[in-house]
Chain A
Amino acid sequence: MGTPVATALNHHMPAHIAIAGCGAITAVGAGVATLWEAVVANTSALRQREWVIGKTTQNVTAGFVPEEVVKALRVTHPAHADSRAFMFAAAALHEAMGNSGDALKNIPANRRGLVLSTTKANIEALDQLNRRQLVSLPAQRQIQPALLAADLAVNLGCGGPVQCVSAACISGLSALQQGALLIQRGEADVVLVVGVDLISQFVLAGFHSLKSLDPEGCRPFDQARLGLSLGEGAAAIILVKRELLPSPAVCLTGWGTSNDANHLTGPSRDGSGLALAIRRALERAELTPNQIDYINAHGTGTSYNDNMESLALRSVFGDAVPPFGGNKGLFGHTLGIAGVLETVICVNALKHQLLPGTPRLRERDSVAPESLVATPRPAKNLQRVLKMNCGFGGTNAAVILELNPA
């Protein structure tokens, strides 16, 4: 079972941080409504393109943001037209603000914070500089994540605390935790959490050199899975103090992080590190495992990751693993966005009372718990969702969302 989590000295009251609005730009297109339609239809927006890596041309299947979406964004953000990172993030944030109803109405700028989640920010500008192409000053400066965060804070009118999390694939969930903490500590009443990452020569070359890509497209938890598919775009979630929203509201009630403390590129992970992060989130939310109704997994489609997650789930939930699934077959592994984007999916699952499926799944891996949800189905009283991600360096993160907790 592993080391039991020591009880914290302080008794955690479940935090009442609510989600006011969401935004998303992904391979599916622009907007959460478009995204949710694709989730309901259980389709995949992964596309194949030829890409030169090193000395060879590769077939790369990934979640590319459609060119027409980029073109439309250049019209609305002419000053940042050559920074897709800025445009994606700003668009997702503006959509989320628009979806927040009246919650943000009377919040002054100095009580409005922003937390950015990204692994490489506007890294494609570095590729362009390396090829001696002309790059605008904002696009260059936005290679630096803290400066991208600052530019976004200015654009969105955030005069409160601004943070930037860059922690591999757990960045998104880590950023949500930081947003919740800023509100809990009284440093802000509203926090705009936004994740953004790009498919670039830089990142493609890296994952290709590790031989971890599936040229045909990822198949999380599938018997025949061969690797991951990258994804890009942005996702935003507006966090607010619970009392700013009318009921019913989706709340962020638990969170936790951990490290495996095992091996940097970790093929022998037994899931105990991820299990620890999950237990920490459950403890903060004051929930027991059997109270979780649905789990949204990390599910990259690599042999090792999905195996390790299956072990972690069995470790925490025993024989009674709740229904679970993974969405990366739809938009790919979006790295720094994943935690935010996949939480957007969970928020919608709670709002629409629908369990998402696991797109591109053909046959469940025998190691994966049987409760894997292949195709979407209506949920009976879906109340509490667990979301987790794991990253390079043995890091793990988990959050818990609840619909209208007491």
Chain B
Amino acid sequence: MNTTVIHAASYLGPEGFGNDLTGFCPWPEALAENLKKGELDGLHWSLLSNSDPSRFLRMDLMCRLGFMAAELLAINFDALPDARRDRVGVCVSSFTGCLDTDIRFVRMPRPSSFAYTLPSTVIGELCIRYRLKGPVLSLITAAPGGAASLTEALEWVKAGDADLALCLSLETMNPSTVGTLVLPPELAPQSWHGAAMLLGPAENGAREKPVEVGSLQALCQKLCRLASHE
């Protein structure tokens, strides 16, 4: 009976970034103040990676967060055989989705930003980058922290619909920016974040952790904190 485990977990949010291997790192001081307030223009690929940023600046905030969260997993997808990579699923859940991009677009409609007025575009960007063809799902959910994404990804692996599943919880807006629209305050995300996990069958790997069903955001934060104290 093959159990499903967490192969990798990553997190970026106002307080810092990290994964289950390296633990939490604080943001560079020059950025920390703005990031805490939810002003994310300074969030850049080069903070995490030396590799070619390719389309990074063309992407909107939701896609940048997803890109960075996935990169932070420190998983070498290229090392997977084709047949396996064809069956890596990608599932995203968000509450605010690409609303910040929508607001920008309605004020200045542009072809380059139109594709980003969809919360599912981040899935496309990730599948292109890592060449993943597995099942895909994009959910907008009022339940905070991405429990929906984690649940669906887990079900995919358990049912054999995917060999591995990349699940993400992404929030780009914090309460101060959400006020542009009338949203009940209790539903507004408490912080921007990008949280990602790679789920798969147990393979006796060093990074394997048991899955706890619940908020993806909370679980990723916990795993990063645990790694920091090891």
Chain A residues with a Cβ under 8 A of chain B? 3, 5-6, 8-10, 54, 119-120, 123, 126-127, 129-130, 137, 140-141, 143-147, 149-150, 163-168, 171, 174, 178, 181, 185, 201-202, 205-207, 209-210, 256-265, 273, 276, 280, 391-395
CA distance A129 to B106 in the complex (A): 10
Q: Other CB < 8 Å A-B pairs besides A140-B182, A147-B183, 14 of them?
A: A3-B82, A130-B107, A137-B182, A143-B181, A149-B140, A150-B142, A167-B120, A167-B137, A178-B137, A258-B134, A259-B127, A261-B128, A264-B125, A393-B125
In the complex the two chains form, is B141's CB within 8 Å of A163's CB?
yes
Interchain Cβ contacts under 8 Å between A and B, 6 examples: A146-B95, A168-B118, A202-B109, A206-B111, A261-B132, A392-B121
Question: Measured between C-beta atoms, what is the minimum distance from B14 to chain A in Å?
Answer: 22
B124 interfacial by beta-carbon distance below 8 Å? yes
CA distance A141 to B134 in the complex (A): 33
- Chain A neighbourhood of B109, CB < 8 A: 54, 202, 205-206, 209
- Chain A neighbourhood of B134, CB < 8 A: 258-259
- Chain B neighbourhood of A205, CB < 8 A: 109
- Chain B neighbourhood of A210, CB < 8 A: 111, 114
| Cβ-defined partner of A8 (8 Å) among B55, B125, B138, B160 | B160
- Chain B neighbourhood of A171, CB < 8 A: 138
In the complex the two chains form, is B103's CB within 8 Å of A265's CB?
no
| Cβ-defined partner of B139 (8 Å) among A119, A130, A164 | A164
Question: Measured between C-beta atoms, what is the minimum distance from A97 to chain B in Å?
Answer: 23
Chain B residues with a Cβ under 8 A of chain A? 2, 55, 82-83, 86-87, 90, 95-97, 99, 102-103, 105-107, 109-111, 114-115, 117-121, 123-125, 127-128, 130-142, 148, 155, 159-161, 163, 181-184, 187
In the complex the two chains form, is A168's CB within 8 Å of B120's CB?
yes
In the complex the two chains form, is A393's CB within 8 Å of B139's CB?
no
Question: Measured between C-beta atoms, what is the minimum distance from B218 to chain A in Å?
Answer: 19
In the complex the two chains form, is A146's CB within 8 Å of B141's CB?
yes
In the complex the two chains form, is B138's CB within 8 Å of A392's CB?
no
For B180, the closest partner residue in chain A by CB is A129
CA distance A391 to B120 in the complex (A): 10
With A258-B134, A259-B133 already in contact, the answer to whether A393 and B181 are too (CB < 8 A) is: no
- Chain A neighbourhood of B142, CB < 8 A: 146-147, 150
In the complex the two chains form, is A167's CB within 8 Å of B138's CB?
yes
| Cβ-defined partner of A259 (8 Å) among B103, B136, B155, B159 | B136
In the complex the two chains form, is B86's CB within 8 Å of A276's CB?
yes
- Chain A neighbourhood of B161, CB < 8 A: 8
In the complex the two chains form, is B159's CB within 8 Å of A6's CB?
no
In the complex the two chains form, is A130's CB within 8 Å of B106's CB?
yes
With A123-B102, A393-B115, A394-B127 already in contact, the answer to whether A258 and B183 are too (CB < 8 A) is: no
With A3-B86, A202-B106 already in contact, the answer to whether A395 and B135 are too (CB < 8 A) is: no
| Cβ-defined partner of B155 (8 Å) among A8, A185, A256 | A185
With A166-B119, A395-B136 already in contact, the answer to whether A264 and B106 are too (CB < 8 A) is: no
- Chain B neighbourhood of A143, CB < 8 A: 99, 181
| Cβ-defined partner of A164 (8 Å) among B55, B102, B140, B184 | B140
Ordered nearest first, which 7 A-B pairs have the shortest CB separation?
A393-B124, A8-B160, A206-B114, A259-B127, A205-B109, A167-B138, A209-B111
In the complex the two chains form, is A261's CB within 8 Å of B105's CB?
no
Of the candidates A145, A178, A261, the one having the most CB atoms from chain B within 10 angstroms of its own CB is A261
With A145-B97, A163-B148, A394-B124 already in contact, the answer to whether A257 and B118 are too (CB < 8 A) is: no
In the complex the two chains form, is A206's CB within 8 Å of B128's CB?
no
